[in-house]
Amino acid sequence: MTKNLKHQLRLSFLHVKRYPILKSKLLTLKEEGTSIIEFALVAPFYILVIFAAFQVGLVMFVQNALEAAAREASRYGITAQQDASIPRETAIKNKVLSVLNTYTQGIVNPLNVVITVKAYPNLPSLEADGTPVSNTFGVSGQAVRYEVSYTWNTLFPIFGTSSTLVLKGITPVVNESY
């Protein structure tokens, strides 16, 4: 072997031996700050998921309150209970607003609550979406559909819809004999 070849082999051996050290130093230098970049990329998605879960929970909460209010109004209406000092319609509307206030602790704005009542001659015509007899609370033996709706302004659009949802609680009943 020539002297020049021995010298080249020795240099290449030293170079290979030093390369892993240089490589690890370069890698540690390149990894600084990666966790903050990863956080910046992933955090908006997690924050969006948290807000979406909160929004869906609130919508379900208000929906449940509307259904409870419609149920309580129908229970009050089927028995023809009436306070002598106020009309039956006003008493039922007050009952709805009272239940909503109790269940939601003021989250629901009473000005956005719409109470719709339709009386049908019997239950089969109500189920078949027949023509209502009247838009009142009905008389003895009539089927009545109580609908409590609320326009909810969401924090942000849900599933690409507008930020306004109309939530409804519906209860059909047959008035008792009175």
Q: How many domains is the chain built from?
A: 1
Residue 18 lies in a domain: no
Residue 13 lies in a domain: no
* Cα(116)–Cα(77) distance, integer angstroms: 13
Please report the pLDDT score of residue 46 as a whole number.
92
- How would you write the pLDDT of the chain (178 residues) with one tens digit per residue? 566 655 555 555 455 445 555 555 555 556 667 888 888 899 999 998 898 888 888 888 889 999 999 988 888 878 766 677 888 788 888 888 888 888 888 888 888 888 888 888 877 776 777 777 777 777 777 888 888 999 888 777 766 667 788 888 888 888 777 6
Parent domain of 90: 39-174
Residue 112 lies in a domain: yes
Residue 25 lies in a domain: no
Residue 29 lies in a domain: no
Q: What is the pTM of this model?
A: 0.70
Residue 60 lies in a domain: yes
Residue 34 lies in a domain: no
